[in-house]
Amino acid sequence: MNKDMMLGSEAVALGVKLSRPKVVSAYPITPQTHIIERLSEMVDSGELDASFIRVESELSAISAVLGASQAGVRAFTATSSHGLALMHEVLHWIAGSRLPVVLVNANRAIGSPWNIWTDQTDSMSQRDLGWMQVYCETAQEALDTVLQAFYVAEKVLLPIMVMIDGFILSHTLEEVIIPSQKQADAFLPIYEPEYFLDVDNPLSFGNAAKGDVFYYLREDMQHSMEASFGVIREAHNKFDEIFGRKYDIVERYYLDDAEIVFVIAGALTGTIRVAVDKLRALGIKAGLLKIRYFRPFPSDIVKNLLKSKEHVVVLNRSVSFGSAGQLAQEIKNALYYEPSKPKIYDYILSLGGKDVFVEDVVNLAKNVGNLKTSKILWRE
């Protein structure tokens, strides 16, 4: 087995290369830069047979990817934070066009003030686009998820945004098992879309649609999201068969008998794992539910896993001002119809890269009896 130490960003670039996209377009932004630097090198050296379009903005990067995908090839872009925000209009357009684009977002806070460190406000702000969203914990997961993302997107016919936390995943060296191209090719079929820009079968894409038509096009996006869990499981099973690594829509850690459950998405999961270990050593029945797929949100799975728990502490890394942490909203939503439900705490764990120490989380669990469920909880 071929292993190497690499940054999370480099793992992403490797996953992209193994997916064989034909067009990559990107605009640099910290902390996404290593991804596109590596891809540029791969394209220039001929390692990756793709066009790399070095555009003048993220708006153009996502636009070029829109064009390439509509022309019928696999297309990829990566960005972060302000860049993702600048892409917003086109992100909608890609989803409405039902194009299986894959985008990696290195999560980063959005100003003002300037801040390059990680939080998930950028991607959470884009949750309603019709894009699927996956949050990764490790470099290996990031690499593997890129491959899975193309597989799922091309079957569901919706684009996927893959999140890696800025710096704590993008810029951190980890050991990564490097899949072979042969394995990747066995997993990810050649991309052959049914409808694309084709001079031999001239179609018009995106002509104005009246309300009744527009309505059922949007309805189908929701149906596709709902039906995508089957495709995701199929992808995970096939991935396990070929690569021998198991993935799920959510991940459980000491969850089955847990009384206090932490819910989190992204790379801080690792910190929480350590905290759970410490709490277990102290005899406190703590557990962890890691959310991989935030869109579609696996409400049924979450409901079944959490309905009989006593305390659920949702560790948000973003906030919807005036409402709640976006992750907490989803958890509450999933459990709403249950007759008996756990106490759900909406905790804003970190924004703009504010450090999270294991002790903070341990103390939080110890103190869980004093927490309030009625409002957003902020750290002291």
The residues that touch another protein, with contacts defined as CB under 8 A, are 22-23, 25, 49-51, 53-57, 59-61, 63-73, 75, 89-90, 93, 96-98, 157, 194-195, 197-199, 201-210, 212-213, 216-217, 219-220, 224
Minimum Å gap between C-beta 122 and another protein is 20
Minimum Å gap between C-beta 293 and another protein is 21
d(CA 119, CA 205): 36
Under 8 Å CB-to-CB from 221, ≥6 apart: which residues?
A: 95, 96, 98, 130, 158
Minimum Å gap between C-beta 215 and another protein is 10
Minimum Å gap between C-beta 146 and another protein is 19
Output 205 or 336, the one with its CB closest to another protein.
Answer: 205
Minimum Å gap between C-beta 85 and another protein is 14
d(CA 101, CA 121): 21
Minimum Å gap between C-beta 297 and another protein is 21
d(CA 111, CA 351): 12
Output 198 or 310, the one with its CB closest to another protein.
Answer: 198
**Contact by Cβ (8 Å): 11, 142:** yes
Minimum Å gap between C-beta 366 and another protein is 51
Cis amide bond preceding 112, omega within 30: yes
Residue type, 173: L
Residue type, 159: P
Output 88 or 341, the one with its CB closest to another protein.
Answer: 88
d(CA 144, CA 153): 14
Give the E-state strand segments of 47-197 in sequence order.
Answer: 51-54, 75-79, 102-107, 132-135, 160-165, 173-177
Encoding tokens for residue 169? 């995943």
DSSP designation for 114: P
Output 208 or 281, the one with its CB closest to another protein.
Answer: 208
Residue type, 183: Q
d(CA 212, CA 190): 35
What would you measure as the largest C-alpha separation in the chain, in angstroms? 69
Output 5 or 209, the one with its CB closest to another protein.
Answer: 209
Output 67 or 270, the one with its CB closest to another protein.
Answer: 67
**Contact by Cβ (8 Å): 118, 90:** no
Output 82 or 332, the one with its CB closest to another protein.
Answer: 82
d(CA 330, CA 302): 9
**How remote is the C-alpha of 136 from its chain's centroid?**
6
Minimum Å gap between C-beta 90 and another protein is 6
Minimum Å gap between C-beta 130 and another protein is 12
Give residue 273's region: left, alpha or beta (phi > 0; psi -120 to 50): alpha
Output 57 or 180, the one with its CB closest to another protein.
Answer: 57
320 C-beta neighbours (distance < 10 Å), count: 16
Output 155 or 171, the one with its CB closest to another protein.
Answer: 155
CB burial of residue 303 (10 Å; 0-12, 13-18, 19+): middle
Minimum Å gap between C-beta 298 and another protein is 23
**How remote is the C-alpha of 191 from its chain's centroid?**
22
Output 195 or 357, the one with its CB closest to another protein.
Answer: 195
